[in-house]
Chain A
Amino acid sequence: MKRILAFAPLVIALIFGGFFLWGLNPDRDPNEIPSALISQPAPNFDLPAVEGLESPGFSRSDFDDLDKTVIVNVFASWCVPCRAEHAVLTSFVEQDGARLFGINYKDKPEDAVEWLENLGNPYERIGADFNGRAGIEWGISGVPETFIVGEDGTVIYRFVGPVVGDAQYSKFHTALLAAGAIEGQN
């Protein structure tokens, strides 16, 4: 009995050590937060169009009769990485034929219009989220964030941060392929 008890601290320490070793896995990001929305129906929101822009507004009902998986991107003109990401998203739309919806997060309409005029507008619909409330419905933690929403209106995938750089690009591209938002090149 005494002998077994004397081993207890060592055993506990080894168990802890095993967890630490797991935790040091370089692929693990301790700051990453899983989305509560994955495999859930897309949240409710109803956003007006951005003033001065031709793209129509964006709301939950736009998911009701989808013919294809779509990308939903949250962006803002004041967000520096969004600028870099814009070209990547544009290429998904123009080269891979993806459908892209946008949520313009806490932006001044005139800034958003100017930004899209300069960079081009790949978005089918853009909703203006002035107070960030739709952002909360989507559970975003910042901009940019990008979601993949299935034909039936369920959220399939969430990507936090800009889809910029090779690693990020291939991660997101794989997810797009898997979800059927774009066709694979042969």
Chain B
Amino acid sequence: MRIVFIVILSLFPFAGLAVEPDEILSDPVLEERARVISKELRCVVCKNQDIDSSNAGVARDLRLLVRERLVTGDTNEEILAYIQARYGDFVLLKPPFKPETYLLWFAPPLLALISIIIGAMVLFKSRNRKVRCSLTASDEKEVAQILTAFGTGDNK
């Protein structure tokens, strides 16, 4: 465990906080796109953080890389694909849409659909159900007890 800790420490040769002034592009449109892309990339050495808000060295390198590629005219998708090719799907905070993640992306609409079906079923049933005056098991028991109590009373 100790070694892991040292490794983590050694990953932070520089202190800093997220995006640094010298990284920022002079073109505000490109810079805005850079921020959007950075928020979609996971910092590989941090615990569940995007590179935009991470102060790790690798995160800074990736931020600079993203901006360099933006300046050379790459699209957002090309940049994300470039980094994905080197770091894998793991690096994308927005999971790519492919067979492995179909279930993930279809889950919310599926859950919504199930909710709608359940809702419709409940409403339909509640409208059509006839009022039944059946007793629950415990009610039956109670009634039986009362009846026997009265029964014994009658016999006296």
Contacts and interface: CB of A to CB of B under 8 A. Distances in A.
A and B touch in the complex (CB under 8 A): yes
B61 A36 contact: no
Interface in B1-50: 3-4, 6-7, 9-11, 13, 44-45, 47
B88 A34 contact: yes
Nearest to B9: A80
Nearest to B88: A36
A100 interface: no
Contacts of B87: 33, 36, 139
A137 B86 contact: yes
Contacts of B93: none
Interface in A142-162: 142-143, 161-162
Given A79-B10, A162-B7, A135 B61 contact: yes
B44 A165 contact: no
Q: Size range of the interface on B? A: 20 to 34
Contacts of B105: none
A164 interface: yes
B65 interface: yes
B13 A35 contact: no
Given A81-B7, A165-B3, A141 B61 contact: no
Interface in A73-119: 78-81, 106
A143 B45 CA distance: 11
Interface string B60-102: 0110110000000000000000011111101000000000000
Nearest to A35: B88
A139 B7 contact: no
A138 B58 CA distance: 12
- Across the A-B interface, give the 4 residue pairs with the lowest CB-CB distance, nearest first: A36-B88, A141-B44, A139-B86, A142-B11
Interface of B: 3-4, 6-7, 9-11, 13, 44-45, 47, 57-58, 61-62, 64-65, 83-88, 90
11 contacts: A78-B13, A79-B10, A80-B9, A81-B10, A136-B61, A141-B44, A141-B45, A141-B58, A142-B7, A142-B10, A164-B3
